Amino acid sequence: MANALRIGLAGLGTVGTGVIQLIEENSALIARRAGRPIQITAVTARDRSKDRGVDLTPYRWVDDMGELATAADVDVVVELVGGSDGPAVTLARETLGAGRALVTANKAMIAHHGAELGALADAQGAPLKFEAAVAGGIPVIQGLRDGAAANRIDRVYGILNGTCNFILSAMERDGRDFGEVLADAQAKGFAEADPSFDIDGVDAAHKLSILASLSFGSRIDFEGVDIRGIRKIIAADIAQARALGYRIRLIGLAEVDGENGGASLFQRVQPCLVPIDHPLAHVAGATNAVVAEGNFSGRLLFQGAGAGDRPTASAVVADLVDIARKETGPAFSVPTTELDELPRATAAHRINKTYLRMLVADRPGVLAEIAAAMRDAGLSIESLIQREVADGSALIAMVTHEAREQAVTDTLAALKGSDSLQGEPMVMHILGE
């Protein structure tokens, strides 16, 4: 058997220790499948004295993680430090610059610096692998880059954040409001003490920008993702959606608008109403799911555990196996210099059905006022539910017929400042086929 592939591991959190456990437990199986042993030789983390539940004595401890980039006993650096900038990106640059392979689970770093790191990897002939950066243990990166390589991908979308899906599923199951479910999720360890990255949609946007680049052969444009999270969803939205035949999910969606010289990239993360007969409507709990639509393959569905130490460690080691087999190639399917620089598409012309929820004064003429604003904007109602709530208010939830998003914007602009509305309306688009 060939010489071992030697690993320098930076970061010993739950994923890092999961990588150690996986390599130790499945070492013989991994060696057979990789064609050579995969061995951790050096490790590093902030605190050397911390008990991590694994035996680190077989491995050389490195105080300065930058040493891993050029260490004589390291062939591949695994970066599990996290963060879009700082030590993580410095280590990535130094590793690739030295012609060493880099494996990372760092979605934020790839979303912000993927083009730069991809170009450096191409120039040095060094593998850059990041399967674990998107959807945990689901092999969606390899599926898009290799399995769907012959296809033109027209659209990619899915449930990309397990915390948000856990919260929405719990709201759906228990009939509780967002704040109560979030507090419970934090108490149980399903959500971070500061959950902003998750519940505000940033984490999902990182992943979406990576998927878009792989799917469309375009440069990563994280800044171009329109992001809206789930903070403003209330139990009534969940109930009304169910009554109308939908479930609410945080959906990241990317597609290319137009063709040839007029192509532009649309990227958005937002809560959507998903038809009950759509596969994503039945994805519950902390599960992730990604749908890619190829012109020959049709709809491809990738589903599984989107986070956690064991699934993410599995994805990291899968990348190591590819490197051991010398199954690499450009990080983003094509050389970085050949990635398209697509302009950002606007949403105004997009045609959707839309869910609108409004808390209004419970008095005659209010519905007529709303209907008049919709009529003037070219927006019509497909279905509507109205129910009384406390203190002389009523809740109106409706689904519109298909119309340009600009019509929804114009409707709300016309109603802005009206004393009929009590609070800001909630807008969610319907996920179409």
Task: Please check whether residue 400 is in contact with residue 353, taking contact to mean a CB–CB distance below 8 angstroms.
Answer: yes
DSSP secondary structure string, 56-70?
-TTSEE-SSGGGGGT
Residues contacting 88, CB < 8 A, separation 6+: 79, 81, 82, 104, 106, 109
Q: Which of the residues 129, 207, 326, 353 is marked catalytic?
A: 207
Are 331 and 117 within 8 A, CB to CB? Answer: yes
> 42, 73 in Cβ contact below 8 A?
yes
The verdict on whether 207 is a catalytic residue reads yes
H or E element at residue 20: helix 14-25
CA 269, CA 254: separation in Å to the nearest integer? 9
Q: What is the DSSP string of 223-263?
A: GG-EE--STT--HHHHHHHHHHTEEEEEEEEEEEES-GGG-
Q: How far is 266 from 256, CA to CA, in rounded Å?
A: 6
Contact 256, 262 (CB under 8 A): no
Query: Checking DSSP bridges between strand 354-361 and strand 351-352, what pairing results, if any?
Result: unpaired
**Pairing mode, strands 264-275 and 226-227:** parallel
CA distance 249 to 273: 7
CA dist., res. 337 & res. 254, Å (int): 22
The full length of the chain comes to: 433
The pair of three-digit structure tokens given for residue 288, joined into one six-digit string: 């992730």
Pairing of strands 381-389, 393-400: antiparallel
Are 171 and 178 in contact, with CB atoms under 8 Å apart? yes
DSSP character at residue 4: P
Residues with a known catalytic role: 207
